[in-house]
Amino acid sequence: MKKLFLVGTGPGNLDYILPLAQQAIMESSDIVGYGLYIDLLGDLVKNKTCHTRNLGQETERVTLALDLASAGRVTALVSSGDIGIYAMASLAFELLDRHPKPEWLEVSIETLPGVSAMQVAASKIGAPLGHDFCTISMSDLLTPWESIEKRLHAAGQGDFVVAIYNPISKTRNWQINHAREILLEYRPPETPVVIAKNLSRENEMVKVVSLVDVAAEDLDMLTTLIIGSSDSRLLSVQNKQRVYTPRGYSKVLK
Ligand SMILES: C[S@@+](CC[C@H](N)C(=O)[O-])C[C@H]1O[C@@H](n2cnc3c(N)ncnc32)[C@H](O)[C@@H]1O
């Protein structure tokens, strides 16, 4: 059977790759992905034919993976975190939907989820995603800023916890400061914000700042933020900062 695995490999450390994802990689002869992600896979991709492509070559990566799979090579297209969250899986289905080569339609596709950056960030600090949340990407490369702005206002109005992906890149940095100003219209300046960098990689850093203090210059491309809702709380447990968003048990706990 012609087979393509779409595999989420977690945020960095191999310990975060789910067994099903490891199994898919082991069954594949060919691995396609961004060079850094493939390097992070270490021994898992030993003896595999690896096809690395740079950032910005997303369409090439997905096209190559579909070409290899339709030529009969069992192929894994890998992406960090969850491959369905701001990653390659949706592009694979978009190409199949809008620009399919006839042979691609013979390929059986299986998606293997991965642990997303926001989940690891949350786990390192407590439980900030404990109640309703949304994720918003600050990348206006493919999404007009007006749409991102609209979503930020909606998140503010709905009082959602907001996980922010792609806060800045090499070519843009002003969006996160605008996001801060929009959310400050709806929630207090001292709202806790988790800043998580290089999760499960070298130089991992997780800290909490107030919403009013979020600033583009403190962030980089490998940063995820979790902006609390008006219910999110910061506390200290054994001298360690913790953030959580309650589900409302205070009404039933006596
Ligand atoms: C294109 S998105 C990919 C998201 C990925 N598919 C996921 O589920 O985590 C890239 C963004 O993910 C976040 N990210 C990915 N890996 C990270 C890590 N190790 N530490 C912190 N943030 C990370 C950053 O916000 C980065 O700008």
Candidates 87, 119, 92; CA nearest to 5 is: 92
Asked if residue 127 lies in contact with residue 245, where contact means CB atoms within 8 angstroms, the answer is: yes
Asked if residue 33 lies in contact with residue 52, where contact means CB atoms within 8 angstroms, the answer is: yes
Nearest CA owner, ligand 1 atom 7: 81
What is the predicted pLDDT for the residue at 167? Answer: 98
54 pLDDT band, cuts 50/70/90, is confident
Nearest CA owner, ligand 1 atom 27: 166
Widest Cα–Cα separation across the chain: 64
What is the C-alpha to C-alpha distance for residues 13 and 199, in angstroms, rounded to an integer?
Answer: 8
Span from the CA of 248 to the centroid of ligand 1 (angstroms): 30
Asked if residue 129 lies in contact with residue 118, where contact means CB atoms within 8 angstroms, the answer is: yes
What is the predicted pLDDT for the residue at 109? Answer: 98
What is the predicted pLDDT for the residue at 184? Answer: 98
212 pLDDT band, cuts 50/70/90, is very high
Is 117's C-beta closer than 6 angstroms to any atom of ligand 1? Answer: yes
What is the C-alpha to C-alpha distance for residues 189 and 175, in angstroms, rounded to an integer?
Answer: 18
Report CA 226 to chain centroid distance, whole Å: 12
Residues 134-165: tens digit of each pLDDT: 999 999 999 999 999 999 999 999 999 999 99
What is the C-alpha to C-alpha distance for residues 134 and 121, in angstroms, rounded to an integer?
Answer: 14
Is 82's C-beta closer than 6 angstroms to any atom of ligand 1? Answer: yes
How far CA 246 is from CA of 49, 121, 250, 251, in Å, comes to 47, 17, 8, 11
Asked whether the predicted pLDDT for residue 251 surpasses 90, the reply is no
Stated pTM of the model: 0.96
Span from the CA of 115 to the centroid of ligand 1 (angstroms): 10
Residues 113-136: tens digit of each pLDDT: 999 999 999 999 999 999 999 999
56 pLDDT band, cuts 50/70/90, is confident
